[in-house]
Amino acid sequence: MAVVGKLRGWDRTVPTPAVDWTKTVVDVVVPAKNEEQTIALALASLVRQDFSIRDIIVFDDASTDSTGAVVRSYSEKAGRAVKLVTRPKSIGKTPALREYCETSDADALVILDADTVLASPNYVSRLIEELFRNAGVAASCGEVMPLTLRRRKQLVEGDAGVKAVWEEFRLTPPGGESFWLRLATTATILYRTPMYVLLQRVLYDGNLKLFGAQLNPVGCAVAYKTDRLRACFAYAQPRVGDNLSMSEDIYIGHFFNWKGWRSVQILGVRCESTEPPIHRLPRQLFLWSSGMLQSSYYFLDLPLTPWLYFRRLLAGDVGNAEQAPQARLIQEQYRAPWGENITHKRGRGIGWFESISLVEKTMYPPVLAYFAVFDREVFWLTLAAETVLGMGLLAVTADRGSRWKYAAMMVPALPVRVMSLGVDTFAIVHCLIDIASGNRRWRK
């Protein structure tokens, strides 16, 4: 499906935006808890942006380290006002976002994780431009890559304000961690780097061009239209409260697709996010995998899209409502009728991608495990074919100068890839038990 999308290319409809994105009011919200090591880097990357950000708000969620003090110190040294909200008791990321969103008068909110750096100085401007290019777009994000120790060192040394904060609070210098922690983090980066490129340059980009949407924005640095995000929280409050699955950005992305709105990813602008050491990676993968399964459960009309299509096919109703004449009254790429009623009756194009993704997530691990036990030749041939295919796609889609390096990373990434399949299986079983037992305390 991704290859079909990449060969097909973008919908060539020329948009007619109703909003001048350059005049929009944008606030940045930075949720943080025990992020003294990285939050100054995140704030410095915001200061370097070429877009005028009205307010930067940091929500310090009852940190037990110097996060709040680092924020105040960097704000003073950089000469950039940062609003700091310090909570005496932890409430989590989702309630903080909801509370601010409910009262904000900004046109758009950029949610930036405190361990993420905006590597491109035009990151915010490109996100806002794409966010308001089409009325149907509700969220936009850029490419995500790992924040390596070498890059962290460059960023600290290259910013006087950050370096001063580092010295003031005697923070651990990049590379000053223990040998074993650096080794464990490097193992994660070796896995994540090629996988991020494959997912974003091939899978996400191809399906984005095919359907005009992705399942969810990549959650570490996302721009949302405030009214759309507010609508999501308003829908969730009486139903699940703040339990928007174990990964709130995945729930939000599913809600947007369910409403007929879209999330888009922009290649060419990049953020870099801190990676966990390899022994903490399974928990992060579990949260992401669980978030997708839980969100699919909440918005079941999306993965049921193939069934809805075949049901309409049997009834002789094979017309595509998304191609109706009224769909082009507003000139917009991938123009589709909005509303959950449409989704309930007909599904959504992106639902095909979600349905097949769930089949792959559910069936591939046990099939591979079967071959590992009963036919090891097929097991190793499958892993070899997957690795070679990934290397070939990286050689074609990665940036010049990095293609062969990323392709070579597919080999050491293989053991972690196999481990991730085991995490997927555990997440599936865990989610089924939760559904059967009625547990819905699905919050990060």
pLDDT of the chain along its 444 residues, tens only? Answer: 999 999 999 999 888 888 999 999 999 999 999 999 999 999 999 999 999 999 999 999 999 999 999 999 999 999 999 999 999 999 989 999 999 999 999 999 999 999 999 999 999 999 999 999 999 999 999 999 999 999 999 999 999 999 999 999 988 877 788 999 999 999 999 999 999 999 999 999 999 999 999 999 987 999 999 999 999 999 999 999 999 999 999 999 999 999 999 999 999 999 999 999 999 999 999 999 999 999 999 999 999 999 999 998 998 876 655 455 455 566 788 988 899 999 999 999 999 999 999 999 999 999 999 999 999 999 999 999 999 999 999 999 999 999 999 999 999 999 999 999 999 999 999 999 999 999 998 987
- Inter-residue contact 11 to 333 (CB < 8 Å): yes
Among 400, 260, 398, CA closest to 335:
260
Q: What is the pLDDT of residue 443?
A: 83
**Taking the model in full, what pTM does it have?**
0.95
Q: What is the pLDDT of residue 171?
A: 87
Question: 339: Cβ–Cβ under 8 A, 6 or more apart, which residues?
Answer: 259, 260
For residue 277, report the phi and psi dihedrals to the nearest 5 degrees: -65, 160
Place of tokens 């380290």: 65
Q: What is the pLDDT of residue 303?
A: 97
- Distance from C-alpha of 60 to C-alpha of 90, rounded to nearest angstrom: 9
- Distance from C-alpha of 94 to C-alpha of 249, rounded to nearest angstrom: 9
Q: What is the pLDDT of residue 319?
A: 62
- Distance from C-alpha of 103 to C-alpha of 419, rounded to nearest angstrom: 43
Which domains are present in the chain? 2-12+26-276 (3.90.550.10), 305-326+333-437 (no CATH)
Which amino acid is residue 50, in one-letter code?
A: D
For residue 262, report the phi and psi dihedrals to the nearest 5 degrees: -135, 150
Q: What is the pLDDT of residue 176?
A: 83
And the tokens for 315?
Answer: 């009834």
Question: 26: Cβ–Cβ under 8 A, 6 or more apart, which residues?
Answer: 51, 52, 53, 54, 106, 107, 108, 109, 110, 124, 128, 223
Q: What is the pLDDT of residue 335?
A: 85
- Distance from C-alpha of 89 to C-alpha of 87, rounded to nearest angstrom: 5
Which amino acid is residue 400, in one-letter code?
A: R
The secondary element (H helix, E strand) that includes residue 213 is none
Among 178, 345, 165, 348, CA closest to 253:
348
Helix 376-397 vs helix 179-197: crossing angle, to nearest 10: 80
The angle subtended at Cα 201 by Cα 198 and Cα 202, nearest 5°, is 70
Burial of 230 (0-12, 13-18, 19+ CB in 10 A): middle
Among 81, 78, 9, CA closest to 41:
78
- Inter-residue contact 108 to 24 (CB < 8 Å): yes
Q: List C-alpha distances in Å: 98 to 111, 140, 211, 231, 235.
A: 12, 18, 29, 10, 12
